[in-house]
């Protein structure tokens, strides 16, 4: 009896210590995540603060001095950037480039992903391996042959050149992500639809496409950010051939003179250019994790 009575508090103590350990473990994990987020945000915070500081303050002191001297903050940089000729036409050009260059590869990739996931045809697996292998091809190796091809059809300097280029560059990853997500959908749903007489077109439009919305939203975020922030591809295919069609990234880069003067305006220009991508990400963020996780579980 004595041994039983003595062991009872020990068991109770052991049982009660489990939730405490789990809470401490979660607290430690949260602390580490918050610390990493703070470290990651420090450069962004510094860039944001510098976007409100004048040239003299940026060149002579660190951004953290503005915390103790808020009087040095000004809107002069933003006023200068917004007053530059061509900034608003470049913003419209970026929209006109980014929206089609996001929608077109997603549409093509959705059809291809369904075919790779639920249709049987000769060489399906080999073709999918080839598509995935294109992910490792550097963009720089494609510039000269594509420019020569566009020159034949007089596309250099046109928006169509960027639409086609970004579609080609984005398709391998888009097909890979959507195919893996569609392949993880319940097979029973498609078998039932086939028994009921549904064609592949019906199964794609009525079943696969609605269930793939999280992956499509995640892909839209990736593609939109890639195209909107692109400078190299825009310079190659549009920048020199037709400056009137230049996107916002080229105009922002041109704020810096040939000798490096005016570099302090880049911080304000960067935050102005990232306003729209940030809004897109916040709008679609609830689909982001579901789309990425769903597309990486099953290959």
Instruction: Say if residue 162 is in the same domain as residue 270.
Output: yes
Count of domains observed in the chain = 2
The encoded tokens of residue 152 equal 């034949």
Residue 257 main-chain phi, psi, to 5 deg: -70, 175
Instruction: Say if residue 148 is in the same domain as residue 274.
Output: yes
Instruction: Say if residue 130 is in the same domain as residue 54.
Output: no
**171: domain CATH number?**
1.10.3720.10
Instruction: Say if residue 159 is in the same domain as residue 25.
Output: no
Position 158 scores a pLDDT of 92
The encoded tokens of residue 157 equal 């300097």
Distance in angstroms (rounded) separating the CA atoms of residues 203 and 113: 13
Instruction: Say if residue 184 is in the same domain as residue 56.
Output: no
- pLDDT tens-digit profile of 82-131? 888 788 899 999 999 999 999 999 999 999 999 999 998 898 999 999 99
Instruction: Say if residue 39 is in the same domain as residue 144.
Output: no
- Domain boundary (30, 51, 74) is at 74
Residue 157 main-chain phi, psi, to 5 deg: 90, -5
- pLDDT tens-digit profile of 257-278? 666 677 888 888 888 888 888 8
Q: What is the mean pLDDT of the chain?
A: 85
Instruction: Say if residue 156 is in the same domain as residue 292.
Output: yes
**pLDDT exceeds 70 at position 50:** yes
Q: Tell me the average pLDDT across 233-240.
A: 87
For residue 288, how far is the Cα from the chain centroid? 10
Count the neighbouring beta carbons within 10 Å of the beta carbon of residue 176. 21
Instruction: Say if residue 251 is in the same domain as residue 107.
Output: yes
- Domain boundary (20, 54, 74) is at 74
- pLDDT tens-digit profile of 142-168? 999 999 999 999 998 899 999 999 999
pTM over 0.75: yes
Note whether residue 94 is domain-resident: yes
Instruction: Say if residue 149 is in the same domain as residue 266.
Output: yes
The encoded tokens of residue 229 equal 């922030």
Instruction: Say if residue 30 is in the same domain as residue 104.
Output: no
Instruction: Say if residue 160 is in the same domain as residue 54.
Output: no
Position 9 scores a pLDDT of 53
Position 175 scores a pLDDT of 94
The whole domain housing 66 covers 2-74
DSSP 8-state assignment for residue 185:
S
């Amino acid at each position: 009896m004595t041994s039983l009575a003595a062991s009872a508090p020990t068991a109770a103590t052991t049982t009660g210590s489990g939730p405490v350990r789990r809470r401490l473990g979660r607290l430690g994990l949260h602390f580490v995540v918050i610390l990493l987020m703070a470290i990651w945000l420090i450069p962004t915070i510094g860039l944001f603060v510098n976007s409100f500081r004048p040239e003299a303050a940026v060149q002579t002191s660190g951004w953290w001095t503005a915390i103790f001297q808020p009087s040095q903050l000004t809107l002069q940089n933003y006023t200068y950037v917004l007053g530059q000729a061509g900034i608003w036409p470049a913003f419209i050009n970026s929209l006109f480039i980014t929206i089609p260059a996001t929608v077109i590869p997603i549409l093509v990739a959705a059809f291809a992903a369904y075919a790779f996931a639920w249709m049987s045809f000769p060489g399906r697996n080999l073709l999918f391996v080839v598509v995935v292998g294109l992910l490792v091809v550097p963009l720089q190796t494609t510039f000269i042959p594509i420019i020569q091809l566009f020159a034949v059809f007089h596309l250099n300097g046109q928006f169509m050149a960027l639409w086609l280029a970004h579609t080609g560059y984005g398709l391998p990853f888009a097909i890979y992500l959507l195919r893996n997500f569609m392949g993880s959908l319940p097979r029973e749903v498609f078998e039932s639809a086939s028994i009921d007489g549904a064609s592949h077109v019906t199964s794609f439009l009525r079943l696969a496409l609605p269930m793939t919305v999280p992956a499509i939203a995640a892909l839209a975020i990736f593609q939109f950010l890639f195209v909107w922030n692109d400078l190299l591809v825009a310079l190659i295919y549009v920048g020199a051939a037709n400056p009137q069609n230049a996107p916002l990234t080229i105009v922002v880069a041109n704020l810096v003179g040939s000798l490096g003067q005016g570099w302090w305006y880049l911080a304000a220009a960067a935050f102005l250019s990232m306003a729209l991508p940030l809004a897109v990400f916040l709008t679609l963020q609830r689909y982001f994790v579901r789309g990425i996780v769903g597309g990486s579980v099953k290959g």
